[in-house]
Chain A
Amino acid sequence: AQSVTQLGSHVSVSEGALVLLRCNYSSSVPPYLFWYVQYPNQGLQLLLKYTTGATLVKGINGFEAEFKKSETSFHLTKPSAHMSDAAEYFCAVRGSNTGKLIFGQGTTLQVKP
């Protein structure tokens, strides 16, 4: 069984500040981990993914995430927030032989001027 927990349903940062969105997972098989972003009234866009190999993965728009097996975490970071980063962010997990994504509850990122 797999599950995802995103700590903090709402995160507010100032423009230019560090963004940190937390994600912890539970998986009985080696996990494949993903971060998706959803802008208002739009679809889900893949930010980045971890499958195998390097545990620090870089994605689009300056985001990156690090897979830490010992902590069962896959936190999303960005050094400097931009107003356009305001959106809903979903962490998701799946196994290697299935496309069924299990999503976390989502974190709304607010960026203040």
Chain B
Amino acid sequence: AQSVTQLDSQVPVFEEAPVELRCNYSSSVSVYLFWYVQYPNQGLQLLLKYLSGSTLVESINGFEAEFNKSQTSFHLRKPSVHISDTAEYFCAVSQSYNTDKLIFGTGTRLQVFP
């Protein structure tokens, strides 16, 4: 069975500081990895995903995540956060064949302070 662990339930940070949101997964088969973001009163939106190829993936708003197979991790990073990045971030995993079943972590609330 697959599982996803997000160790930090809340991450407070000041604006323009760097941030890392941690995600670890366990799976006996190859997986695809995702980060979704949920802004207040909105649905989840895909932030970035790793399917294959380069282990470093980037989003259009400055976030990046690196797939580390040996450490079974997919941590999300941003070098300089903005107030508008305040949201809930969910890491998710799916099996890499014939299924769209996503297994989500419990989420990390990123709170950016001025």
A binds B: no
Residues of B within 8 A of A (CB): none
